[in-house]
Structure 1
Amino acid sequence: MKIVDVKLQIVEVPLKEPFHSTWNPSNPETKLFVTLVEVITDDGIHGYGAACDSSQLLAGIWDTHIRPLLLGREISEVEAINTGLVNASLYAYRPWCVEVAVWDALGKYARLPIYKMLGGVKDKVLAYASTGELKSPEERIKDAERFISEGFRMMKLRAHHDDPFEDVRIIAKVKEKVGDRIKIAVDANQGWFFSGKRVVAKWDIKKAINVCKAFEEIGIEWLEEPLYGYDFEGLAELRRSTTLNIAGGELNAQVHEYRDLIKHQCFDIYQMDVVLSGGFVQNRKVAAMAEAENKIYTPHTWTHGMGLAAALHMAGAVNNCPFIEYCYDPPRWDYTIRDLMLTEPLKVEQDGYIRVPDKPGLGVELNHELLDRYTILRK
């Protein structure tokens, strides 16, 4: 079965309310960006994958690096395709949604969900509610109560004030109120930075160590991205200095960087992203390397419904993924917003688990009518 065509569709869906993410504090999110890839085979199968940006850079190399890589190739040659995308990534921004589309087509051909083709360890994963904005203690306590009522056992809050000890004080108030009814993790968003009108103060190693000590007293589950993602030695020193689990790696690129992160013992929890950092092929390899070191692998998922679906398949395919991120910060970012491109949103069940889609391929259906309405470019 061969690939006979590959298409690109760039979509920008306006949001009803701006979302003030901590990772880009200068520029509130006003649109849901979807870069959709469609792979078509000679058997008439259509596979889909999607990135979470408006990737004009990917469009710029579509005819020179993407179409020649895929056209005429057997759909099963995912390793070779992934290697070609490594080369393409030197010219464009994160082309891994192309590989996801190939896997979706392959799964439909095999009549199997992707996670079963990759290993099929489990059909559901414990989800944690992952917030994205800074809020007052009162608002966060209200959110925590909502998460508890909906079945969540864990939530992740953001630490992104200029004074990180303000974050410590807020999270301590939430922890005091909810007690042991829900576990709390914290994301510092220090692994990478957008520049702009408001640049949040960066943490150095001493500040990170002191913040860790403060969070140790509160009793959080992990601290995510406390230092720049390429400061391997600093991350290793920090991890040795604290009893907290340290997490990160969402935007490190490809398998060799994760090899070095693991070699330096930078993290307890490795959070490679299927769509942002290497596709299924490389995530499977990184998960295996982490497992060999008795470390946790859990995919980063803050993209959209298609990205979450890909991450769920990866989580269901490996042994060392005990939980998964579920991007959820109502009212401005609930699952109906995140999953706008899907005909049905991906929901967490009352026991706190989320099912891995069990239909062939990614196992989700696209809302083509909405995507077509807000398309700004096709190739």
Structure 2
Amino acid sequence: MNRRNWIRNAPALGFGLGAAYSTAASKPLRLKITRVECFGLRIPFNERVRDNMHENYRRENVDRPDYRPWIVRVHTDEGLTGLGESKEDPRSRLPAMVGHTAYEFLNNGALTPGVMIAIYDLVAQAGGVPICKLFSPKPRPTVQATWWSHCLRPALLASEAKRGVELGYEVHKIKTRRYEDPVEQMAAVTAAVPHDYQIYLDANGSFGSAGKALAVMDSLRRFEQVKGIEQPIAHEDIVGYRQIRRSLPFRLAVHYEAVDARSFLLESLCDAFVVEDWKWGPALSEKSELCRLTGQNLWVENGLYSGISQVFQAHQCSALPNVEFVISLTHIGEDDIVVEPFTVGKGGFYTIPTKPGLGVTLDQKALDKYRVV
């Protein structure tokens, strides 16, 4: 099947859980759901960056004084409990789950993300395997974790980059906006990090035109750590992206959900797609397979506000060979509300938990501290 026909027909091909699902589902456990809990949290930004984050969101007319994840806990008659995290309130869908088995909801794209994560957690626990093995019999043992910063003032941004280095990160994604000079920012950051540190800028379309985007990126060529740019101009400006692709001396990434993905795939208009929509399971697997066919990588950025989604993101991405970076914002929050630390090792890689299920434990004290619903 050629590239064009494969892309046209891919949604109908289906992406399941493979042989590992059969192993899990064949276990004698019924996994009948007996109770579902849901908790709404408000997690303040970390004090290190709080004031600058508030200032930036005010500038952008965004109402985001803190992180507000919803934590889901699904209980079963077998004594197993699944954990999930959602960015939207899932409470209206939860009562109907009681009395059904977890297997009935597996691979159900209609579920809210928080519930879907919890279901995968339960099924993997029942099968005695880590979640990653529900998606591939041979997942990678590690994934490349990425440090993240908003468009902070140069000195603070340099301090955050230095902190990332101290924690073992080697890749850093940084927002760039018109209210800060990117040259001043990169001068400060690159002076604080090793020469092999990788920096990717995310403009979210703020550069305006292809010409302006190319001019800005040309001014950053002096900084060897700057490796690429994400979404430099408006997502619908396909002509502008063609111009940028021809002339840009850096790697180029765009948001999969924001652009005409078919054109970017067929014309190879980018090196990587950023997946930020909270799509798990088969939806993410489908995107990965499409991009693998056309030679593009994925940067997955949907495990954002707690260690629950952060670790689930790592699990599934370890099973998808063309996921290059996993990106999370949990270090921007005051607490990731799980007991186990998200620790990166040599090369900035995170080692996937090998315990059955998700492999992390909800911090009950943190849950009680930040719970508002």
**Per the shorter chain, which TM-score range?**
0.7 to 0.9
Deviation (angstroms), 1:176? 5.4
Alignment of 1:367 with 2:373, yes or no, is no
Check whether the contact 1:259–1:286 (CA below 8 A) recurs between aligned residues.
no
| The one of 245, 255, 258 aligned to 1:239 | 245
Q: TM-score, normalised by structure 1?
A: 0.76
Q: Percent identity?
A: 21
Matched residue type, 1:238: I
Counterpart for residue 316 of structure 1 = 318
Match of 2:16 in 1: none
Check the 8 A contact 1:78/1:103 in 2, yes or no. no
Match runs of 1:16-55 below 5 Å:
17=47, 18=50, 20-21=52-53, 22=56, 25=59, 26=61, 29-51=64-86, 53=87, 55=88
Residue 345 of structure 1 is matched in structure 2 by 341
Deviation, structure 1 residue 150: 3.5
Aligned to 1:188: 203
CA RMSD of aligned residues (A): 3.2
CA distance in 1, matches of 2:255, 2:152: 22
Aligned to 1:170: 185
- Paired residues in the alignment total 335
The verdict on how the C-alpha distance between 1:19 and 1:272 changes in structure 2, with shifts beyond 3 A counting, is farther
Are positions 1:99 and 2:102 aligned together? no
Mapped partners of 2:213, 2:252: distance in 1 = 11
The change in CA–CA distance for 1:248 and 1:338 in structure 2 (over 3 A counts) is farther
Task: Answer yes or no: is the 8 Å Cα contact 2:147–2:328 preserved in 1.
Answer: yes
Structure 1 residue corresponding to 2:147, chosen from 121, 125, 129: 129
**Against the structure 1 CA distance between its residues 154 and 14, is the aligned structure 2 distance closer, same or farther, given a 3 Å change threshold?**
closer
Check whether the contact 2:158–2:192 (CA below 8 A) recurs between aligned residues: yes
Supply the AA of the counterpart residue of 1:244.
Answer: F
* Superposed displacement of residue 29, structure 1: 4.9
Letter of the 2:75 counterpart: I
Distance 1:128 1:291, change over 3 A: same
Deviation at 1:296, TM superposition (A): 1.0
CA distance in 1, matches of 2:219, 2:346: 33
Partner amino acid for 1:279?
W
**Per-residue CA shift, 1:290-349, capped at 9, x if unaligned?**
1111111131144332221121112211111233325476xxx37xx241x112221222
Distance 1:328 1:8 in 2: 20
Match of 1:151 among 155, 162, 168: 168
CA distance in 2, matches of 1:41, 1:179: 49
From 214, 231, 235, the counterpart of 2:219: 214
Residue 3 of structure 1 deviates from its aligned partner by 3.6
CA deviation string 1:18-64 (max 9, x = no partner): 3543566445854332201223334332211112x4x35x44xx15x
1: distance between equivalents of 2:113 and 2:231? 22
Residue 7 (1) aligns with residue 22 (2):
no
Show CA shifts across 1:144-182 (max 9, x none): 44433443322222211336xx21332145335646242
Residues 264 and 36 from structure 1, CA distance in 2 versus in 1: closer, same or farther, beyond 3 angstroms?
Answer: farther
Q: Is the 8 A contact 1:150 1:350 kept in 2?
A: no
Instruction: Say which SS state the counterpart of residue 76 (structure 1) adopts.
Output: helix
Letter in 2 for 1:371: L
Kept in 2: contact 1:186–1:222 (CA 8 A): yes
